[in-house]
Amino acid sequence: MTTTWPARLRQANEAVLEQGRREAIADFFAPGYLAHVGGQTMRGHSAVASVMDALRRAVPALKVDVEILVEGDDRIAWLRTCHGTQAGAFRGFPASGKDLVWRDMVVSRFERGLIAEEWVVTELAERLLLARKG
């Protein structure tokens, strides 16, 4: 049975973001993986591991819901809703101890069964700022 792209995305989010399994990164992401986020381009498995580590330190019990919006031959547009309690600092935002919910709009391109490139728009910084103020 062939695994669908939506199923692969859900599995990747569960293994990497929710469970923090570094060894799973190579199972889902191409070695030359590119992520375009906030005007920056991140490259390779080390970029995935860096984001995963930082998020899991900040929100150790992170939960992720994936909603597929549009599916094409090698690309999927999808919405990731993340939620958990911010127990640690994240990129200059100190731990708030508050529950966070944020959304990432993502377009993923697949190559040879792996996620090769992604374009991400996230509202995480806005939610961290609100948690800090509130």
The domain limits of the chain are: 5-133
| Length reported for the chain | 134
Report d(CA 61, CA 109) in Å as an integer: 28
pLDDT tens profile 63-98: 999 999 999 999 999 999 999 999 999 989 899 999
Taking only the tens place, the pLDDT of each residue in 20-52 is 999 999 999 999 999 999 899 999 999 999 999
Residue among 44, 64, 62 nearest 54 (CA) = 62
Max intra-chain CA distance, the chain: 49
> What pLDDT band is residue 53 in, cutting at 50, 70 and 90?
very high
Tell whether the model's pLDDT for residue 1 goes beyond 50. no
pLDDT at 134 over 70: no
Q: What is the CATH number of domain 5-133?
A: 3.10.450.50
**What is the pTM assigned to this prediction?**
0.91
Tell me the sheet residues that pair with 65.
Answer: 81
Q: Are 119 and 106 in contact (CB under 8 A)?
A: yes
